[in-house]
Amino acid sequence: VIEKRGIEPLLELLKSLGSWPLLDSNWDEKNFDWLKLVANLRKYNNDILIVEYVSADIQNSNNNIIQFDQTSLGLPTRDYFLKPVNEKYLNSYRNFMTKVINLMNVDIYEASDFADEIIEFETNLAKIMSSQQDRTNISVLYQKKTLAELQVEIPGIDFIRYLSIVQERTVHGNEKVIMFAKKYMQQLVKLIEKTEPSTVANYILWRFVRHRANNLDNRFLEAKQKFY
């Protein structure tokens, strides 16, 4: 059944999310809302650009609380994007991405160009992330804030709206959360502001499509296996 369906279920899913620019020549950046998109993708268990989860408060382990952190990436750590010694892994990632986009019926040369564009953005994302060495002391990064306070300190991200989408409930500004990556969030806003909306959308949905490869036909599974 999976072989017979091919990419159709994924195409329908992408369309419901506002479509993937690299597949849709009619994509309109005026309708693009990156925060709404990443919030909706969180429902599919994908932490893209913003990591959000519920866990015990490290200063009060009896209390579970919503926590925010810097993004995950398409490769295990930021060093894969920033250190020349890891170039072979980055090239493998680029080839994997190109193959998957090509399997979505995009010309191979165009797919390669899109992959370069996406990796450039993801490399810039890696640059604004804190290194693992800088994150050894979690208590230094720990900041408990109300959502209203976060709105003031990181005005480019509406955390109240984000949580209202993820949790499908009314969210109030006086609710407290824990932030582990305030500087990253502030830099993320600046990066998105200076990046073409279609590039941001292509990156977000690439990360989403990659996680769907397990549910697609053998062509995608073979591409993933070759990458790994």
What is the block-wise mean pLDDT of the chain (228 residues), using blocks of 10 residues?
Answer: 93 95 94 97 95 95 96 95 96 97 96 97 97 84 96 96 96 97 97 97 97 92 94
- CA–CA gap between residue 72 and residue 21 (Å, rounded): 22
Distance CA 103, CA 164 (A): 35
Beta bridge partners of 135: none
| Dihedrals phi, psi of 132, to nearest 5 degrees | -60, -35
**CB neighbourhood size of 66 (10 A):** 19
Mean pLDDT of the chain: 95
Would you give the distance in Å from CA 52 to the centre of its chain? Answer: 11
Among candidate residues 11, 13, 31, 12, the one with its CA nearest the CA of residue 201 = 31
The C-alpha atoms of residue 128 and residue 126 are separated, in whole angstroms, by 6
| N-terminal to C-terminal alpha carbon distance within the chain | 25
pLDDT digits (tens, 9 = 90+) for 110-150: 999 999 999 999 999 999 999 888 888 888 899 999 999 99
Is this prediction's pTM over 0.85? Answer: yes
Distance CA 85, CA 201 (A): 29
Virtual torsion, Cα 123, 80, 114, 223, nearest 10 deg = -160
Q: What is the pLDDT of residue 138?
A: 83
Question: What pLDDT does residue 190 have?
Answer: 97
- pLDDT at residue number 139: 83
d(CA 131, CA 137): 12
The answer to whether 68 and 52 are in contact (CB under 8 A) is yes
**What pLDDT score was predicted for residue 71?**
94
pLDDT of residue 137: 83
Query: Can you give the pLDDT at residue 136?
Result: 81
Share of residues in the chain with pLDDT > 90 (%): 94
